[in-house]
Structure 1
Amino acid sequence: MEEALIIAAAGLVAGVMNALAGGGSFVTLPVLLATGTPSIAANATSTVALWPGGLASAIVYRDGLRPIAGISVRTMLAVTIVGGAIGAGLLLYTPERLFDRLLPWLALCATLALALAPRIGPWMQARLGPRGRPLILAGQMLLGIYGGYYGGAVGLMMTALWSLIDGSGIKALAAARVVMGCAANAAAIACFALAGIVQWNTALLLGGGALAGGYAGARLGRKLPPAVIRHATLVLCVAITLGFFARAYR
């Protein structure tokens, strides 16, 4: 009973984080690992549990969808879904011990994305100039693979990539960010379900908490200053990333 409450609470916190700034898997994954869930199954279960909240957000945002740098939404979706399926397949064929070693580095990439996303787009755009459709599509395929394989902060990484070419603000890209992240995870979930590695009872507990947290986080986000949200999220992500390194290389 106590473990179930901890898992539901982790889902709640993750839902709040995803609603405010992203990075909810930074909470759910270590909690699942602490309960004895193998790392690959924990990653798959976390992805499944957090997906309904992302889907709900995608439905809300759907009216704001528009082409990215002239690339249609359908094309972006197709590339993202293919990438998500490839990433999930790679995860399923990754030995558990190797994934345990990779996990802290993936978490570090996600943490850096959370920290640098607001600046890296304008900085790169000013220095590189436009590269057009090939860069966006190639980058989107890689991010789809990353999303299916691990997925931490993938939405922020997508926003940073699109900003290099599109030049729109974060709010204008929010709808595409949510929908593409949801699409990559949907492809991954199908693969995980077919492989039978999802712990469904745990996913239901996490998912219920995440839905409640997503609602609460959306309301909280209207009141808290953006700087407070970002700093609190980054502190938590840095602490968990260090914990992953300690676990993998102790």
Structure 2
Amino acid sequence: MDILLILAAAFGAGVLNTIAGGGTFLTFPALVFIGVPPVAANATSAVAVFPGYLGGALGFREELARFDRRQLIRLTGLTLLGGLIGSLLLLVSSNEAFSLVVPFLLLGATLAFLFGDRLRTWAADHSRGITPQGAGGIVLVSIYGGYFNGGLGIVLLALFALWGMANIHQMNGLKNGLSFALSAISVAVFAVGGLVEWDLALVMMAAAILGGYAGAPIARALPKALVRALIALVGFSMSAVFFWRLLT
């Protein structure tokens, strides 16, 4: 039953990530529910959804090629730095400490997803362009992504809008490219640190890839409002469960 649960969660995560994001809302809780300690569950979940970022980056390779190469290298380097810091923070976090912040991280990621469009609109209205302040922003967002991956894509898109970017395809390309770089350094740190439950991660990875493939026709068939409502329901439900676990 445990294997069936994590396979279903990983498949669903692949579908959700293809449609709109939010796969972490399924994979992380599923691992915790079958008895994986929270820190290891977070690391294993990050490994399970990792291949999807590469596929997304390759899918937007034409958009990525339009960026100035020096700028792209700079942003990737800053992302790797932030991802490394966030991953190392998770590495030294105890399960007790991580369990305290997980409900708030899940709730924050759910709210970021639910109000992502408004967040990007607000950010676009307050655009400052790519500046040294922008460098600080990408490092902070990447620290969050290295520590807890949920809702990362939404926050990155809002940050890009704040920088003045308007082409959603280029924004998605950059989001996927930087997310892949961040996840690569995170996976490396988690693997060296011995946090990953590899037997679970590998089967979840395969299920997530299948779910990602299946998600394309589902994305075309379902209304966007319904998809958003379903993901928000999952996110709020998981947040409530972890708050309940925290209080009991």
The reply to whether residue 51 of structure 1 matches residue 50 of structure 2 is yes
Moved over 4 A (4+): none
Residue 196 of structure 1 is matched in structure 2 by 194
Question: Within 1, Cα distance between the matches of 2:6 and 2:130?
Answer: 44
User: Equivalents in 2 of 1:134, 1:111: separation in Å?
Assistant: 29
Structure 2 vs 1, CA of residues 171 and 234 (structure 1 numbering), >3 Å: closer, same or farther? farther
Give per-residue Cα distances to partners, 1:94-125, cap 9 Å, x unaligned.
12101000101111121111012111222243
* % identical equivalent positions: 36
1:134 aligned residue: 132
Q: TM-score, normalised by structure 1?
A: 0.94
TM-score by length of 2: 0.94
Work out whether residues 60 and 169 of structure 2, in 8 Å CA contact, stay in contact via their aligned partners in 1: no
Structure 2: runs of 5+ lacking an equivalent: none
Amino acid in the other structure paired with 2:121: P
For residue 72 of structure 1, give the secondary structure of its aligned residue in structure 2.
helix
1-structure distance, mates of 2:5, 2:103 = 23
Please report how far the alpha carbon of residue 169 of structure 1 lies from its aligned counterpart in structure 2 after TM superposition.
4.1
Q: Is the 8 A contact 1:26 1:152 kept in 2?
A: yes
Aligned partner of 1:36 in structure 2 is 35
The alignment of Structure 1 onto Structure 2 pairs a total of residues equal to: 247
- Give, in whole Å, the separation in 1 of the partners of 2:230 and 2:211: 16
Gaps of 5+ in 1: none
Equivalent in 142, 152, 155 of residue 153 of structure 2: 155
Amino acid corresponding to residue 88 of structure 1 in structure 2: S
Is 2:43–2:196's contact at 8 Å kept on the other side of the alignment?
A: yes
Over residues 203-234 of structure 1, what are the superposed CA-to-partner deviations in whole Å (9 max), with x where a residue is unaligned?
01111110000011122112222222112111
Paired residue secondary structure (1:152)? coil
| 1:71 shift after superposition | 7.5
The offset of 1:236, in angstroms, is 1.1
Report the secondary structure of 1:222's partner residue.
Answer: helix
Select 1:218's aligned residue among 216, 219, 231.
Answer: 216
Counterparts of 2:235 and 2:70, CA distance in 1: 33
